[in-house]
Structure 1
Amino acid sequence: MSNTAISADFLWQGGAWRAGDDVALGIASGRFSPAAGDATRIGRFVLPGMPNLHSHAFQRAMAGLAERRGPGEDSFWTWRETMYAFAEAIDPDDLKAIATQLYVEMVKAGYTQVCEFHYLHHGPRGVPYADPAAMSLALVEAAREAGIGLTLLPVLYMTGGFDGRPLSERQRRFRHDVGSFVSLLERLAPMQDDMFTLGMALHSLRAVPEDAMRALLATGIAQGLPVHIHIAEQIGEVQDCLAVRHARPVEWLLDHADVDARWTLIHATHLTAQETDRIAKSGAVAGLCPTTEANLGDGLFPLAAFIDAGGTFGIGSDSHISVSPVEELRWLEYGQRLVTRHRNVAARLPEESVGTALWQRALVGGAQASGSDIARLAAGARADLLVLDDRSPLLAARDEADVMDSFLFAGNTPLVRDVMVGGQWRVRDFAHVAEASSANAYRRVVERLAAA
């Protein structure tokens, strides 16, 4: 769709519904523009697409396979061993098939951009592929086939703990030194376009020594790129950081790096009040993944205090035990209700709608973390949008005052009917143009992996 105009009864602009005769947008070359000429009405309620700020695509194929109790108390660390074993067998073709299926699911659910935190770089035992970028390119191809915007975040992963121990055999697939990592970034950078943004990630403080972090951040290629890092996800991580670096992970990072608005701190679950305030004031995004954090038993982020401090957050589906922005936002709120024993926690002002507050805050944080001009229905932004199903009984008798709360809190029936990404319809009447072919390819890969 190009050089055309669209309209709706209500467009979501600036955190609120806008209505009236002038509610229309043009679309030219994949971006929104001022409307010119007659506009085609596409629906009653039209929203910006949601960015997914944290994804490990290959983990979609193991969803549901780590739910059997082990011989002792299960935790993130026991789950991680299951994940490593699963990752061992995946090659570039497998990764492309898994990621394409996942990204199709994301688009159908209302995600229009994904930040792929990508550390599965090499072959088994760390043997490089003939093309060192093979696994990265598989993700780029998958995003193109699914029609989702991609922020690719190659991950620097060097050590197995804060004490600098070598990586285990299963972790060797993840390893780069700073030089080879910079070479990978330089290989990928020229490929960027409206649908592909390059960023970078430090896996975690335990996996990147201080001197390596400083060396990478000082390189030319690193300047201006979005920077993501796992941090303070687990109590064990906090304890290990205190023992070796004599500071908590977030405290140490804020003291030793110029953390600003181009940083995204993934999870940041275990924070002191001072750390919560410092992240908010830094301008960094808190990358929250409520369904994965619940599945792994991580803990709960201090949402109310963070919002009150002026903090910015977005959501991600991480391990993909759920692929739904509705469920991430719903359980972000429900977790807060359970721990505080109060309702409507994300709404910090009297009469504020929880659904409105959650969706708009996640749009802003997700766009910032993505490093792309997305997640807003305004001239100049990439033309991504969602059309809600106004025929659904769940939205019956709902007007602009309460449609967002019904969208997020009225059940599990999908309400995203149509999805546009980059000016192209990817989903019409709940069907994605590539869903049959992606499902068949995914099924073949998963069946082979299961039989291996």
Structure 2
Amino acid sequence: MPLTPQATPTTYWLEHAWLGTHVEPGVTVEVADGRITAVRTGTPAPPPGAEALHGLTLPGLANAHSHAFHRALRGTVQVGSGTFWTWREVMYGVADRLTPDSYYALARAAYAEMALAGITCVGEFHYLHHAPGGTRYDDPNAMGRALLAAADDAGIRITLLDTAYLSAGFGDRPNQHQLRFSDGTADAWAERADALKGAEHARIGAAVHSVRAVPAEELGTVADWARRREAPLHVHLSEQTAENDACRAAHGRTPTQLLADHGVLGPRTTAVHATHLTDEDIALLGGSATGVCMCPTTERDLADGIGPAVALQEQGSLLSLGSDSHAVIDLLEEARAMELNERLRTRTRGHWTAAALLRAATADGHAALGWDDAGTLAPGALADLTTIRLDSVRTAGPLPRLGAETAVFAATAADVRHTIVGGRQIVRDGTHTRVPDVPTALADAIAAVRG
């Protein structure tokens, strides 16, 4: 069932709505052709014919960094101890078993889980391009198209961040697992990526997997492709100190400095993680208006560290949030964790307001994915909404006017009651309207790719 906007004009009555700066009771939202046409406050009861959304309604949440196939790792990679690098070996095992059909099934289930969590748009950092061993499918974009179809069928928007992944490390050829990630050269990557087209629910962006996976002399090719397309460009940056050390050994500079030298930074670019930065790195990112996507639940799951989010924002970087490896899929938890991590690091409270954290999860996340027309409850914006219960055991009690604080610091994905995309209800009363049994879909898809 393609994700097309609701053609028939619809009116929603929001019991409480977060309007970007405050929570307003009794808000009526009119929708036509998938967009908000009017927002009216001061309506204490639903107008005739309006559909009532009880609870707190936010703009749809944007998950700015996802690897859909990592959903199959949940509950497996948490066994025992290890590091990011030992986790990566387990990840390779799952990647080796995926086909276009099994990838579609897994991604559809993972994206349906996201819809249940109030996520209306996902940034899919996609590097699993070819068959095991690097053999090309008849359609070189079979895996990417599987992801586009999965998002459409799960009812959410997607920015497919087609990722250049050409080497195993600085000067190293791809290993046996990475052969299916690589197009050989950045020019070959660009030629394949050119064949991908957007749709009503989909936009196409680019990604540099990391400075270790794209040779320095080829970084500019990826950046130029994104610039010509006016597309978002994402890059894993300084997630591990080992990568920083290797980059300095190979190039005499940090990964951030290397990206700056080759024209990768800028307002259309988002650095993911940015955990281990120097003061100069922070100034380069902020000064170039490069955004930063923080993924706190993955960064703590992999013991990566706590990134300098406050300093980055102070220097000019917009912050967005992602669930990355899907240790959990809960953008409210990502927002909460960013603040709570900083409290642990500094032993002080209140680095961001609840409103600022919600902006990272909504408007700024959508902007990082190239959807500048989403993430707000305002006329002209895409009619993507998320409603959170205010009567669960987690959210009951606080005054409704404190709904933003309740959403960020108490609610979880389990409190999402409704998810609306393009004016259509994808989740109604906690049930996915297109994938009625999401747990079974997840269990079957994961069983099919586990060894």
The TM-score, its normalising length taken from structure 2, stands at: 0.91
* Aligned partner of 2:63 among 39, 52, 56: 52
Check whether the contact 2:293–2:321 (CA below 8 A) recurs between aligned residues: yes
* 2:229 match: secondary structure: coil
Aligned to 2:292: 286
Structure 2 CA distance for aligned equivalents of residues 255 and 213 of structure 1: 10
Deviations 1:115-150 (A, max 9, x none): 000001111111111111110111011101110100
Preserved CA contact (<8 Å) 2:63 2:321: yes
**Aligned match for 2:94, one of 83, 86, 91:** 86
Report what 1:351 is aligned to: none
Give the superposed CA RMSD.
Answer: 2.1
Match of 1:208 among 200, 210, 214: 214
Tell me how far apart the structure 1 counterparts of residues 369 and 21 of structure 2 sit (CA, whole Å): 19
Q: Quickly say closer, same or farther: Cα 1:315–1:77, change in 2 above 3 A.
A: same
Q: Name the counterpart of 2:3.
A: none
Deviation at 1:222, TM superposition (A): 4.1
The answer to whether the Cα contact below 8 Å between 1:195 and 1:422 also exists between their aligned partners in 2 is no
* Equivalent residue number for residue 181 of structure 1: 189
CA–CA separation in structure 1 for the residues paired with 2:322 and 2:413 = 20
29-38 or 337-346, which deviates more: 29-38
**CA deviation vs aligned residue, 1:65-92 (integer Å, no higher than 9, x gap):** 122336xxx2111111111122101111
Q: How does 1:34-433 map to 2 (within 5 A)?
A: 34=38, 39-69=50-80, 74-162=82-170, 164-176=171-183, 177-189=185-197, 192-219=198-225, 222-257=228-263, 259-346=265-352, 354-372=353-371, 373-410=373-410, 412=412, 414-433=414-433
CA contact (8 A) 2:17 2:56 kept: yes
Moved more, 227-236 or 217-226: 217-226
Confirm or deny: 8 A CA contact 1:202 1:227 kept in the other structure.
yes
What CA deviation, in whole Å up to 9, does each residue of 1:79-110 have, x standing for no partner? Answer: 11111122101111111111111101111111
On the 8 A contact 1:159/1:165 being kept in 2, the answer is: yes
Would the aligned equivalents of 1:54 and 1:115 in 2 still touch at CA under 8 Å? yes
Tell me if structure 2 keeps the 8 A contact 1:232–1:269. yes
- Superimposed CA distance per residue, residues 237-293 of structure 1 (whole angstroms, 9 cap, x where no aligned partner): 111111111111112212331522110101011112232233123222101100111
What is the identity, as a one-letter code, of the residue corresponding to 1:135?
M
Separation of aligned partners in 2, 1:441 and 1:103? 11
More moved, 165-174 vs 334-343: 334-343
Separation (CA, whole Å) in 1 of partners of 2:355 and 2:179: 44
Q: Are 2:335 and 2:360, in contact at CA under 8 Å, matched by a contact in 1?
A: no
Q: Indicate if the aligned counterparts of 1:5 and 1:35 stay in contact, CA closer than 8 A.
A: no
- Residue 15 of structure 1 contacts residue 360 of structure 1 at CA under 8 Å; is this kept in 2? no
Q: How many angstroms apart in 2 are the aligned matches of 1:117 and 1:413? A: 22
**Whole-Å separation in 1 of the counterparts to 2:130 and 2:434:** 28
1:58 and 1:84 mapped to 2: Cα distance? 10
Q: What letter is aligned with 2:202?
A: F
Cα distance in structure 1, aligned partners of 2:396 and 2:39: 30
Deviates more, 1:359-368 or 1:194-203: 359-368
Change over 3 Å in CA distance of 1:305–1:379 after alignment to 2: same
Count of residue pairs brought into register by the alignment: 436
Moved more, 208-217 or 436-445: 436-445
C-alpha distance in structure 2 between counterparts of 1:171 and 1:257, whole Å:
26
User: How has the CA–CA distance of structure 1 residues 89 and 15 changed in structure 2, closer, same or farther, with 3 Å as cutoff?
Assistant: same
Q: Is the 8 A contact 1:281 1:309 kept in 2?
A: yes
1:47–1:385 contact (8 Å) kept in structure 2: yes
Q: Distance in 1 between matches of 2:116 and 2:342?
A: 27
Determine if the alignment matches structure 1 residue 27 to structure 2 residue 31. Answer: yes
The separation in 1 between residues aligned to 2:217 and 2:375, in whole angstroms, is 36
Q: Please report how far the alpha carbon of residue 193 of structure 1 lies from its aligned counterpart in structure 2 after TM superposition.
A: 2.8
Q: Whole-Å Cα distance in 1 between the matches of residues 117 and 111 of structure 2? A: 10
* 8 A Cα contact 1:194 1:382, kept in partner: no
SS at match of 1:78: helix
Residue 358 of structure 1: CA displacement? 0.9
Does the aligned pair in 2 maintain the 1:261–1:368 contact within 8 Å? no
**What is the rounded CA distance, in whole Å, between the counterparts of 1:356 and 1:143 in structure 2?**
28
Structure-1 residue corresponding to 2:434: 434
The equivalent residue for 2:444 is 444
**Counterparts in 2 of 1:400 and 1:260: CA distance versus 1, 3 Å:** farther
2:365 counterpart letter in structure 1: G
Note if 1:8 corresponds to 2:19: no
Q: Distance in 2 between matches of 1:220 and 1:243?
A: 28
Query: What is the identity, as a one-letter code, of the residue corresponding to 2:431?
Result: A
CA contact (8 A) 1:268 1:286 kept: yes
Separation in 2, partners of 1:198, 1:415: 31
Structure 1: stretches of 5+ with no match in the other structure: 347-353
Q: Percent same amino acid at aligned positions?
A: 36
Partners of 1:212 and 1:301 lie apart in 2 by 27
The offset of 1:342, in angstroms, is 1.5
Moved more, 221-230 or 90-99: 221-230
| Alignment-mate amino acid for residue 30 of structure 1 | G
